[in-house]
Amino acid sequence: MTERELGPRDPRSHAPRRRDPGQDTVLTRPRHDVRPVSSSNSPGNSPGDVTQPDATMTIRRVTPSRSGLSSASSLLRWSPYRTQCLAALAALDLGIVLNQIWVFRVLVLIVAFSFPGILVLDALRVPRPTVGRYPAIVVGASVAVMMVVGGVAHVIGHAAGIEPLSKSTLVISFSVTLIFIGGVAGPGKTFVIGDLKFRKSTFLLPVPVVTAAAGAITLNHGGPSVIAVAGSVFAVAGILAALVLPAPLLDRLAKPLIFSSALALLYAFSLRSNYVYGWDISQEYRVLSQTASNENWTSNVHGNAYAAMLSITMVPAMLVKITGLDGSYVFKLIYPCFAALIPVTIYALGRQYLPARFAVAGPVLILAQQSWSSMIPALARQELGLFYFALLLVALMDPSLPARCRLYLGVIFGAALVLSHYSSTYISAILFVGTSVLAVIFSCTGRRKPSSRTALIATTVTLVVGAMIWYVPVTHSTSELSRVASGLLEKGPQILPNKEKGSFIGTWLNGNTGHGLTVSEYNEELEKARGWVVSAKDTDAYPLASAPAMPGGDRLAAVLPFVTLGTVALNQLTNLLAIAGTVVLLVTARRRGDPRLLIASLLSVVMVLLLASLRLSAAIAEAYNQERMMVQALEVLSLAIGMLLLRVSALTKKIVHLSRAVPVLVAASVGFLLANNTGMISYFNSGNAANFANRGEDYERFYEHAPEVASAQWLTARIQPKDILVTDRYGQLRMALFLDRKEGIVTDLAPAAIDKNSYVYLTTVNMEGRVRAGIGRNVVMFATPFRYLDDTKGVVYANFYVKVYR
């Protein structure tokens, strides 16, 4: 929203005018006791006299409302705002009822992700310019409202004796909840957010998204790779453009550029296969399917941490019901949008402190991480968890938010994070506890008190207490945390456990990641581990053989070592930038005396320590994937990195008179990382990349075919709790779509591990002769033991692509 929309500056307001780096115009800093209201709210005005949304508004001093709630008289007053609210609610309800028609599905999606959020933000008196700057806040608040609506639906459903997540209960629950919030929000504002400006160039921005989606779908139907490659090329071009565009153009286009590029990279993977694509998402899909088919979510999850997360149970089940979409497409189409809003939000936050060119560097580094495109779209609960984490950072660090809003948003988004993803919550809780402690130490040592300290402590308490309540007495879902704790207690932190095999530097560079095993190494480990198996025959007569080679070439063999070296170097450079940036941010915060920058620098300090502990301790690394942690870390560290680059750029300009050197170097580095991490180099080398072709390592691991899904359904319906199931490391993903158990599944598809009474499930890839297994994070590939299976078992199920032995 620009100053023109806010109207003339209130002559009575003495709020300082400042230049907002996120806007082209000068804004008035919102004050606690001043809120913008339309002239229609003046006492005595009849509803007919009201000013329209775009009309000039006045800002007047009103009685402070500390709770942010409307007075009783304003609750009874009618206004165009409430008419608009009722119209939006009617549209939502109508859309839900008629969601068999595509138009209404789209309508429901648009209204459900905007209207509830706007109502809540108005009720909390969050300044409209802030809301306009962060579209993600509206979406985040809307999803938080959905969680509340889910709770209301359970109350209504149980009282009326109908299923809580049925369509009819949800219509009633949405109406009740939104009418209540609308009443609290009170009259006084237009329902339209921001200045809707469409430039011709804006219409080009969906091009990467549409091309990437079309490319993935074309590949799913056996089409050529060219469209998928073009989609990723457009996305990379968009990201690089964000780094080198002239400043005025960048200011206008940065957000849509980042969003469309981020979403294109995500869709390139998430839309592969007609089912879900990836590891965790297969289990997430199962808990979603169970919730949606039962039309009920229960807190009695029997220790299943997935089932305890509303982000992959109640919320997507509600979306299935209100939009009529299949559950897999809720995860494949809608959830990547949450993730794509993360870098946009981080950019907008950085823009409050940095010029656009440097604010964009951190978010772009997030997109350049390998985990962004290939891993994040397969983690639905983390997409929402990291999304709320970004919103928490906004709540704490955005300078335009009044203290009261900061507190409310911190609590709301903190609670939503707890309900969305346990690992992100644990990391956030440690981060915020550490930062709170540092903030208190700064206060005690007589330094300037961070102004966000109350919000920081409230957010920390929400995360810690919320997690303790939700994960322990409500859902009993602390299995993941218990596993880490018991591992730490039994084995200690296991600092650099692989260091005896190489130098310290080599160990550091490789981190605590897995490595390949040879067939004989694996076999030795297997014999030790599987001594209890009752084999049908002497397995010594059936030694494991090497797997047939995967199709593909090696056209860039001469270049690949340099690519690997360059990637390692740039990843380490990112770590160095984060550390140096944190120091620069800390110094800048103290020099400027900016309390919010101080909070940001303390968050960065703790995050750097967390990253280092994950790198050094195998016990912690076992609990949380380093690549995923890096995405969360860069959300915090983006500001520090941008601040460092700004300083370095100023230095290069002063010393060697090269003003564009740093942005160009950053663009070149990011371009290199993106070329490698999006799979382009792999594709041009061997033709193998799941987002560009129907072959390759990831394709064989994660692409789920219809015959595999059909066979998994068949087996799930017949396997008994007493039965053992032996399958490939990635065959378990197909089974995880439907089979709700962890015990009794053996993922070593080798004769030594096949019990004579077990089921053996062979996937499409196993039928082609390749089996993948592993010990811990170390993976091995060997030939499918067809001879042993044919000699000892019968085939109880077959289609053209899959077999089940018994």
Partner 1 sequence: MAPPRRVTMVTLAAVLLLLVIQFGPPRKLFDQIMSTPDGTFAEFYFDNPDALPTRHSGMGPVHFDVGIANHFSSARTFHWAVVTKSSAGEVKQPGGTVDVGPDETQTLGVSVNLQPVTGLQRITVRLEEQELEISLLVDQRP
Distance of closest approach, residue 118 Cβ to partner 1, in angstroms? 15
By CB under 8 A, tell whether 772 contacts partner 1. no
Report the C-alpha gap between 111 and 113 in whole angstroms.
6
By CB under 8 A, tell whether 799 contacts partner 1. yes
Among 102, 505, 554, 657, binds partner 1 (CB under 8 A): 102
By CB under 8 A, tell whether 167 contacts partner 1. no
Among 14, 19, 200, 221, binds partner 1 (CB under 8 A): 221
In the bound state with partner 1, the residue whose beta carbon lies nearer, of 540 and 790, is 790
Assess contact for 456 and 433: CB atoms under 8 A: no
Distance of closest approach, residue 559 Cβ to partner 1, in angstroms? 35
In the bound state with partner 1, the residue whose beta carbon lies nearer, of 232 and 274, is 274
Find the binding residues for partner 1 in span 742-771 (CB under 8 A).
759
In the bound state with partner 1, the residue whose beta carbon lies nearer, of 275 and 470, is 275
Distance of closest approach, residue 333 Cβ to partner 1, in angstroms? 9
In the bound state with partner 1, the residue whose beta carbon lies nearer, of 477 and 711, is 711
Q: Name the H helices within 324-379.
A: 327-329, 335-350, 356-359, 361-368, 370-374
Find the binding residues for partner 1 in span 324-383 (CB under 8 A).
326, 329
CA separation, residue 336 to residues 227, 256, 263, 264, 341 (Å): 20, 15, 6, 9, 9
In the bound state with partner 1, the residue whose beta carbon lies nearer, of 508 and 797, is 797
Report the C-alpha gap between 624 and 529 in whole angstroms.
25
Give the residues across from 761 on adjacent strands.
Answer: 727, 804
* Dihedral-angle region of residue 156 (phi above 0 means left; psi in -120 to 50 means alpha; beta otherwise): alpha
Neighbours of 655 (CB within 10 A): 8
Give the residues across from 762 on adjacent strands.
Answer: 803
Neighbours of 576 (CB within 10 A): 11
Give the residues across from 18 on adjacent strands.
Answer: 27
Report the C-alpha gap between 582 and 435 in whole angstroms.
13
Distance of closest approach, residue 600 Cβ to partner 1, in angstroms? 36
Assess contact for 152 and 86: CB atoms under 8 A: no
Neighbours of 248 (CB within 10 A): 10
Stretch of 151-159, 291-299, 523-531, 699-707 contacting partner 1, by CB under 8 A = 699-707
Q: Name the H helices within 492-625.
A: 504-510, 519-529, 560-592, 595-616, 618-623
Among 161, 222, 531, 561, binds partner 1 (CB under 8 A): 222
Among 40, 274, 632, 649, binds partner 1 (CB under 8 A): 274
Stretch of 97-105, 245-253, 439-447, 668-676 contacting partner 1, by CB under 8 A = 97-105
By CB under 8 A, tell whether 83 contacts partner 1. no
By CB under 8 A, tell whether 806 contacts partner 1. yes
Among 687, 707, 769, 774, binds partner 1 (CB under 8 A): 707
By CB under 8 A, tell whether 661 contacts partner 1. no
Burial 186-221 (b: 16+ CB within 10 A, else e): bbbbbbebeeeeeeeeeeebebbbebbbbbbbbbee
By CB under 8 A, tell whether 101 contacts partner 1. yes
By CB under 8 A, tell whether 721 contacts partner 1. no
Distance of closest approach, residue 190 Cβ to partner 1, in angstroms? 9
CA separation, residue 658 to residues 384, 650, 652 (Å): 41, 9, 6
Neighbours of 671 (CB within 10 A): 16
By CB under 8 A, tell whether 106 contacts partner 1. yes
Find the binding residues for partner 1 in span 196-215 (CB under 8 A).
196, 214
Among 718, 741, 742, 777, binds partner 1 (CB under 8 A): 718
Distance of closest approach, residue 802 Cβ to partner 1, in angstroms? 9
Distance of closest approach, residue 354 Cβ to partner 1, in angstroms? 31
By CB under 8 A, tell whether 789 contacts partner 1. no
Assess contact for 144 and 346: CB atoms under 8 A: no
Please name the helix (run of DSSP H) or strand (run of DSSP E) that holds residue 795, with its range, or none. strand 795-798
Find the binding residues for partner 1 in span 26-55 (CB under 8 A).
50, 52-54
By CB under 8 A, tell whether 87 contacts partner 1. no
CA 132, 634, 660 angle in degrees (round to 5)?
Answer: 80
By CB under 8 A, tell whether 534 contacts partner 1. no
Stretch of 131-139, 372-380, 610-618, 713-721 contacting partner 1, by CB under 8 A = 713-721
Q: Per-residue DSSP letters for 216-268? A: HHHHHTT--SHHHHHHHHHHHHHHHHHHHS-HHHHHHHHHHHHHHHHHHHHHH
Distance of closest approach, residue 695 Cβ to partner 1, in angstroms? 15
In the bound state with partner 1, the residue whose beta carbon lies nearer, of 205 and 411, is 205
Assess contact for 70 and 179: CB atoms under 8 A: no
At residue 542, the 3 state secondary structure works out as coil
In the bound state with partner 1, the residue whose beta carbon lies nearer, of 192 and 496, is 192
Report the C-alpha gap between 299 and 515 in whole angstroms.
38
Please name the helix (run of DSSP H) or strand (run of DSSP E) that holds residue 383, with its range, or none. helix 380-397
Among 192, 204, 496, 665, binds partner 1 (CB under 8 A): 192
Distance of closest approach, residue 290 Cβ to partner 1, in angstroms? 21
Among 76, 90, 226, 795, binds partner 1 (CB under 8 A): 795
In the bound state with partner 1, the residue whose beta carbon lies nearer, of 144 and 804, is 804
By CB under 8 A, tell whether 107 contacts partner 1. yes
Burial 763-778 (b: 16+ CB within 10 A, else e): bbbbbeebbbbbeeee
Among 180, 672, 714, 786, binds partner 1 (CB under 8 A): 714
DSSP 8-state code for residue 60: E
Tokens of 322: 């209100």
Q: Which amino acid is at 56?
A: T
CA separation, residue 69 to residues 66, 152, 184, 360, 409 (Å): 8, 21, 6, 37, 15
Neighbouring C-alpha atoms within 13 Å toward the C-beta of 524: 4
Stretch of 37-45, 505-513, 652-660, 707-715 contacting partner 1, by CB under 8 A = 707-715
Distance of closest approach, residue 457 Cβ to partner 1, in angstroms? 42
By CB under 8 A, tell whether 561 contacts partner 1. no
Stretch of 137-145, 239-247, 605-613, 794-802 contacting partner 1, by CB under 8 A = 794-802
Among 175, 220, 290, 494, binds partner 1 (CB under 8 A): 220
Burial class (CB in 10 A: 0-12, 13-18, 19+), 98: middle
Among 259, 372, 408, 801, binds partner 1 (CB under 8 A): 801
CA separation, residue 517 to residues 415, 514, 701, 781 (Å): 42, 9, 17, 8
Stretch of 396-404, 577-585, 605-613, 798-806 contacting partner 1, by CB under 8 A = 798-806
Residue with tokens 């065959």: 731
Stretch of 522-530, 547-555, 668-676, 793-801 contacting partner 1, by CB under 8 A = 793-801
Binding site for partner 1 (CB under 8 A): 50, 52-54, 101-103, 106-107, 110, 192, 196, 214, 217, 220-222, 271, 274, 326, 329, 705-707, 710-711, 714, 718, 720, 759, 793-801, 804, 806
